[in-house]
Amino acid sequence: MKSQLLKLAVVAVLSTSGHAFATGFVSLPAAGLAVSAGANQPAGTTAWQSCNASGNYGAAAYIPPTAGANNTCAVFPGSINTSPVAGFTRLSVNDLNNVAITANGENIAYMTSRTFRNAGNTECIYGKRITMDTSTAFDYNASLAGQQYLEINDVAFGGFSATTDVTAGYYHTAITDSPAYRVGRSFTSVQMQADPANENIVATGFVHRPINGPSVPASGTEINGIGQTASPGATAPTAAQQTSAIRTNWVDFTLDNTGGVDEDGDTEQDTSMMYVRAGCTSTSPASLANSVRIRQTGQETQPWVTILAPGLARSGANANF
| Nearest CA among 109, 194, 160, 154 for reference residue 297 | 154
What's the pLDDT at 81?
97
What's the pLDDT at 124?
98
What's the pLDDT at 266?
66
Give CA–CA dist 232/201, Å, rounded. Answer: 13
Give tens-digit pLDDT for 202-230.
999 999 999 999 999 999 999 999 999 99
CA 242 to chain centroid, in Å, comes to 16
What's the pLDDT at 3?
36
What's this model's pTM, rounded to 2 decimal places? Answer: 0.92
The pLDDT of residue 129 is above 80: yes
Give tens-digit pLDDT for 262-297.
676 667 899 999 999 999 999 999 999 999 999 999
What's the pLDDT at 275?
98
Q: What percent of the chain has pLDDT over 90?
A: 85
Give CA–CA dist 291/321, Å, rounded. Answer: 10
What's the pLDDT at 265?
64
- 14 CB burial (10 A radius; 0-12, 13-18, 19+): middle
Rounded to a whole number of angstroms, the distance between the first and last alpha carbons of the chain is 31
| Nearest CA among 184, 83, 174, 74 for reference residue 127 | 83
Element (H, E) at 14: helix 4-14
DSSP label at 94?
A: G
The HSE-up count of residue 227 (CA atoms within 13 Å, CB side) is 0
